[in-house]
Structure 1
Amino acid sequence: MNERDFLAERFEEHRTHLKAVAYRMLGSLAEADDAVQEAWLRLARSDAERIGNLGGWLTTVVGRVCLDMLRSRTQRRETSLEARMPDPIVSGASADPEQEALIADSVGLALLVVLESLTPPERLAFVLHDMFGMPFEEIAPVIDRTPVAARKLASRARRRVRGEAPAPDPDPVAQRRAVEAFLSAAHDGDFDALVAVLDPDVVLRADGGKALPGGVKVVRGSAKVAAQAATFHRMATLATSRHALVNGAAGLVNTVDGRLYSVMSFAVTGDRITAIDILSDPERLADLDLTGLEG
């Protein structure tokens, strides 16, 4: 084995971790792959023998790459939350090892949406410290701040996350029960039953892609979300809904005449649905990997 092959083998040992970092930073699977590939190119051009902690070095590089990508979005005035919903990860009863790494620590769509609203430095400080345990002394140089400033950024991000993305119920049975109640009420057009299963402050986000001008549509409050579910009620008479895990939480994969129509993700807290995220953009649905649902 030559030196480059040995280096590539060592890099592959860290690939899953690096993609998990990049996915949390970017909310895009394709961009996460790009960030990981850029980390490999930088490693291949470096003096690898002088790198003492390869995992830490690669994580720092991926963090810098993601930070640049987020700043580029801002410069192009692409407010991510308005532009598109984060990429969902759809699986069956269990996820493969890479999927599990991507969605560990309850990285549901609701949390990713909140992360999209943070500034790039806040997001990096929160992701690297709170999700991956990197010390602020190592985070600070990446964002050109002092460790104290990096700590403050992470603290501010943490408060935002706790306020807007409450911890979901970890019980999959409770999650599925709430989703089934929602599905039944929507199918029957039962407004009162819908309101009963929704948290008073529930948030519904819908990304229809180019067919939905203005980016992601956001509806707040149980009454308004229940009224919006009338659209789902009309589709429910035509669609086949299949239970699935979306970012590790209860979700639905909806098809019409065998064609994928939408993917829905639910955040459930205390038997009430606190967030519903719907992706119905045909272009992005076509790119989803649903192999985990086979059989």
Structure 2
Amino acid sequence: MSASTSHHPLAFAFGVLGNIASFIVFLAPLPTFWRVYKKKSTEGFQSVPYVFALFTATIWIYYAFLKSNEILLITINSFGCVIETIYIAIYLTYATKQARVSTLRLLFLVHFGGFCLIFLLAHFLSQGPTRVAVLGWVCVTFSVSVFAAPLSAMKMVIRTKSVEFMPFNLSFFLTLSALMWLSYGLLLKDLYVATPNIVGFSFGLVQMALYAKYRNNKTNVEEKLPEQKADVVKQMTILTTTPELEVQVQAAVSSHANSTDAHPSSEHNNDQYMHAQTCHNEKIIEPSMAGQLVTCEV
């Protein structure tokens, strides 16, 4: 038990529980990358969420070392760095040349350029407690921005009155993780840990409320859309992680392109394509770090 938690056994307990919940959230994209491995293709989904998840975990580790005696922050974010690195490595292995180059460029820009800038701000333009404060607010900024990702999912739930676009298990563990880390931050009077998790927990409660309200309305989407469009919506139901929706939507769009070449006058195919393309353009659920960051990277 670290010095900072030795006088706060309850804080230590919440930190351990937060590690467990965050561990589960970090593993959420595994089915997506298993499919990538099996198909030997990234199917067009983006690497951006995983690049920023890796960066956020990295700066939280930096914050924890700078503050000292924050072993619980170091353990979960170290795991986060490892698992996100694995995800990115798999992506780079099976991505197209253009996607691979874009990912490597983003990695260099964010992890080298971004981290160097943060290092300069923390070590040369500030000292002592101010240094921790500067880095703490950088961590807060990145973490809070992550919690905006589920907003598009909540918007779609309200719009369709269906929870098919919002996986309960992921929402539950994100909420639980935020609660654990919020409690940890409050007990240790660590504003930088507590602040982003206030946002995360609040959004989590809203998601739980939406799920409770619309959980029995699974037929609403079919009632509001023509039969062929409802079929496309069903195919886009999220089972595990938000990036999976992006993959499924793009697959539907690609499928349409092939089918219309053979049957250019098919109204059924055109309706499916238009609905899939609309959902994709509106970004029903951003394939973002919400799939993995979360408060696990407190």
After TM superposition, the score normalised by the length of structure 1 is: 0.31
Relative contact order: is structure 1 or structure 2 higher (C-alpha 8 Å, sep ≥ 6)?
Answer: 2
Give the structure with the higher percent helix.
Answer: 2
Give the structure with the higher percent strand.
Answer: 1
After TM superposition, the score normalised by the length of structure 2 is: 0.31
